[in-house]
Amino acid sequence: MKTVTMVAPVNIAVIKYWGKRDEELILPINDSISGTLSTDFMCAKTTIQASPQFKENKFWLNGKEQNFDSPRLDSCLKEVKRRASPSCPILNWKIAICSENNFPTAAGLASSAAGYACLVAALAKLYKIEGDISSIARRGSGSACRSIYGGWVQWIKGDRPTGEDSIAIQLAPVAHWPEMRVLILVVNDERKKYSSTSGMKKSVETSDLLKYRASECVPKRVEAMKEAIFRKDFESFAKITMEDSNQFHAICLDTFPPCVYMNDTSHSISDVVHTYNECKSSNRVAYTFDAGPNACIYLLESETEEFLSVINYVFPPSSNTGYLKGLQVRQKPINKELEM
């Protein structure tokens, strides 16, 4: 019997991935950039056991048994085994995978990113794979490839139809910008109505705005975002982050039928951020929303206390107004290197 356990963090995109050019290999239509959170905050944990005694492969997620025949799981497993040495003694043993997230699954909180990054990291350790594994994690869930690395990460879309050049790279380690913080304002932790996978597929099929975003906007934004991160220019970083989030949700509305992920509370949070920044005469706080209503707030440590007091005032945690369902506040530095 052989056992490995790994932990992987979530990542929060500041330039969003939205749209695939190849559904099976999970190849995106544009580059994306994210910050990876520290593993003591929101993370996935996966244990894999391999044994010659096991009769069949098994998979549990958060204590519930899942169907092992998922195309994405299969694609990751096949690719890991293809890269393993043919003399690896456990290559033909059956495996039992046990994964858990310490945060809501499929609520737009990047659970699949952490989940697949963790699964692939564990498989890679089990079968002793060398080299970059982000292109394998990508086959599980696109955004998972960015969780393989810590700090600031770019997923390069690549050009080849086979996808070997569609990989994640680290732009800067967490130590580059240690003052950066992320707050997650949980508006709703229920499963989202439409998954990112189906939403982006519909956008590719129906949104003209998406084509314009991928060809005209994102390439320029990626360069400007890299520059802002390298120079630790929070003002520009915040502006680009919010513009990109807004454009992504505009595309969701331009999709037919539209995918509405943000709700009234999400829009109120965005208003509070803009009002706060106007009062400060500069962008001190940046929101970004993924495929769900929850807000991810990037800000510097020097701003957290004051901004949190504003949030607590506008959305009192004890009030029963139907506003914020729960407020999760984390002030850990974004990112340690992924412990692998």
Closer CB to ligand DP6, 50 or 151, in the complex: 151
Q: How far is the CB of 340 from ligand DP6 (least distance, A)?
A: 20
Q: How far is the CB of 231 from ligand DP6 (least distance, A)?
A: 23
Encoded tokens for 249: 């949700």
CB distance 153 to 34 below 8 Å: yes
Q: Tell me whether residue 238 is exposed, middle or buried, using C-beta atoms within 10 angstroms of its C-beta: 0 to 12, 13 to 18, 19 or more.
A: buried
Q: How far is the CB of 289 from ligand DP6 (least distance, A)?
A: 8
Question: Residue 134 half-sphere exposure, CB side, CA atoms within 13 Å?
Answer: 23
Smallest separation (angstroms) from ligand DP6 to the CB of 139: 9
For residue 19, the Cα-to-chain-centroid distance in whole angstroms is: 15
Cβ at position 322, least distance to ligand DP6 in Å: 25
| Position closest to ligand DP6 via CB | 142
Nearer to ligand DP6, 10 or 50 (CB): 10
β-pairing, 94-101 vs 58-61, is parallel
In this structure, the strands spanning 32-36 and 152-155 are: antiparallel
CB of 190 to ligand DP6, least distance (A): 17
Rounded CA separation 18/29 (Å): 8
- Residue 46 or 49: the one with the smaller Cβ distance to ligand DP6 is 46
Q: How far is the C-alpha of 143 from the C-alpha of 274, rounded, in Å?
A: 28
With residues binned 3-state (H G I as helix, E B as strand, rest as coil), the percentages for the chain, rounded to 5, are 40, 20, 40
CB nearer to ligand DP6: give 113 or 148: 113
The C-alpha angle 153, 159, 160, rounded to 5 degrees, equals 115
Of 126 and 296, CB closest to ligand DP6? 296
Determine the Cα–Cα distance for residues 187 and 261; give it in Å rounded to an integer: 11
Q: How far is the CB of 176 from ligand DP6 (least distance, A)?
A: 21
Q: Which CB, 180 or 292, lies closer to ligand DP6?
A: 292
- What is d(CA 268, CA 272) in angstroms, rounded to the nearest whole number? 6
Site for ligand DP6, rule CB under 6 A: 13, 16-18, 26, 32, 112-113, 141-143, 196-197, 290-291
If the CB atoms of residues 13 and 50 are measured against ligand DP6, the closer one turns out to be 13
